Structures are given as structure tokens and as C-alpha cells.
């Protein structure tokens, strides 16, 4: 049995030997050419690259000098950018608490007065109310149940209801305002 791979390998080997012998002079020439001209090209490229690098460095230095002279302007620009972002954040997240108090006052009926109140920036509000008589109390509670009231209050809790000797009522209202309404009113001052 003949090993076909071995046959092919030996053929290629003899072929390469033939070509090498035949082209020995050409190979030597090519090698010399590449070494001489290749060396010259390397030196040439090196020269060009060094010159190009020096040019870029010089131009970069000019640009850096110009940038350095504009540095105060950049500092002002960065400061303005930061401040605008900060102002925008505060304005868009700062609730308008006067709206909460005004809305609560608007809903008061004749014969009702607020004795004291506390408001916090999360929209929660506690107000103590004095009401002259039961009829007004009934009307006020009805008012608090209206759609208009529900537009402003997310949560409403009435506690500590006390009746005085004169027939008046005192009670506390714990309310949580819809913060979106307080934010929306921020720029409507």
C-alpha cells in the first residue's frame, strides 16, 4: 500500500529544493533589497513620525495655552451649569406650603376658625378647628366629603372631637395634601 501523503510531502520538498536552487540569486537579491530599502524606509518613516509628533505637540501646546487663558470662563460656565441644575431641582421639588394653608382656609365656613396648625414639607398638616355649633360642624363635615376636598387631600382624619359647654366643638384634622398639587402651585405665586 502506498502512503499518498508521504508521496505528496516528498514531492513538495523536492519542488521547493528545485525552486530554491533555481531562484537562489533572486532570493539573495530580494533579501538585500529588503534590508537596504527596508532600512531606509524605517529611517524615513521614523524621521517623518518624529516631525509629525513634534508638530502635534507644538499645536497641542498652543491649544493648551488657549484653553488655559479661557479657564476662568470654563469655571464660570461649570458653576452656572451646576447652579442651574441645583435651582431646577429645588424649584421642581419644593412644595408650596402656603397653598396648603390657603386651601384649608378656603374650605372654612362662617362660624369656623382655626386655632392653630402645623404644616410640614411632606404635605402633612394638622389643624385644630373651633366650630360654633353642631349645624356648622355638620355642614363642614359635608364640605370635607366633597369632590373638591378630595382633590386636595390624599388623606383626612378627624380626631379629638370635644363639645364645649356653649355648644361649640373643637377637633383636630390630620390631613395629607397631594404633594403634586403643592408642587404644581410652586410657580403660581
Partner 1 sequence: MNLVKAKAYFPFVFYTLIILVDVIILALLFPGKVFKLIETKDQIEIFSTEERQLTEANELLAAVDINQLSSALVIANVALPDEKKVAGLISGLGTVASASGVVVRTISYSPGVVSTSSAQSQNLDAIPVTMTLNSSLIQFLDYLKKLQSASQLLGVTGITYTLTGSSPGGEVNILVYYLPARAGKPSWLGVPRIDAEDLKILSKISPQDIFNLPLKSR
**Range 43-62, binding partner 1 (CB under 8 A):** 43, 45-46, 49-50, 52-53, 56-57, 59-60
- Nearest CA to 171 out of 88, 112, 90, 100 is that of 112
Which residue lies nearer to partner 1 by CB, 11 or 151? 11
Which residue lies nearer to partner 1 by CB, 113 or 162? 113
Provide the minimum distance between the beta carbon of 186 and partner 1 in the complex, in angstroms, as a whole number.
8
Which residue lies nearer to partner 1 by CB, 1 or 4? 4
Q: Is residue 132 classed as helix, strand or coil in its secondary structure? A: coil
Report the b/e string of 129-152 with b at 16+ CB within 10 A.
bebbeeebbeebeeebeeeeeeeb
Binding to partner 1 (CB under 8 A) within 102-121 occurs at: 102, 105, 113-121
Binding to partner 1 (CB under 8 A) within 2-41 occurs at: 4, 8, 11-12, 15-16, 19, 27, 30-31, 34-35, 38-39
CB 141 within 8 A of CB 99: no
Which residue lies nearer to partner 1 by CB, 33 or 134? 33
Strands ordered across the beta sheet of 124-131: 124-131, 169-177, 153-163
Amino acid at each position: 500500500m502506498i502512503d499518498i501523503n508521504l508521496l505528496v510531502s516528498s514531492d513538495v520538498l523536492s519542488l521547493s529544493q528545485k525552486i530554491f536552487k533555481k531562484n537562489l540569486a533572486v532570493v539573495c537579491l530580494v533579501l538585500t533589497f529588503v534590508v537596504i530599502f527596508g532600512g531606509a524606509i524605517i529611517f524615513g518613516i521614523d524621521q517623518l513620525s518624529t516631525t509629525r509628533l513634534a508638530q502635534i505637540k507644538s499645536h497641542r501646546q498652543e491649544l493648551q495655552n488657549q484653553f488655559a487663558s479661557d479657564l476662568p470662563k470654563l469655571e464660570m460656565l461649570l458653576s452656572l451649569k451646576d447652579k442651574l441644575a441645583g435651582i431646577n431641582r429645588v424649584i421642581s421639588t419644593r412644595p408650596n406650603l402656603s397653598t396648603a394653608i390657603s386651601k384649608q382656609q378656603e374650605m372654612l365656613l362662617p362660624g369656623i376658625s382655626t386655632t392653630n396648625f402645623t404644616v410640614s414639607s411632606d404635605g402633612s398638616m394638622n389643624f385644630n378647628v373651633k366650630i360654633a355649633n353642631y349645624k356648622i360642624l355638620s355642614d363642614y363635615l359635608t364640605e370635607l366629603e366633597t369632590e373638591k376636598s378630595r382633590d386636595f387631600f390624599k388623606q383626612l382624619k378627624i380626631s379629638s372631637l370635644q363639645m364645649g359647654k356653649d355648644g361649640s366643638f373643637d377637633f383636630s384634622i390630620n390631613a395629607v395634601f397631594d404633594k403634586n398639587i403643592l408642587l404644581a402651585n410652586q410657580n403660581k405665586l
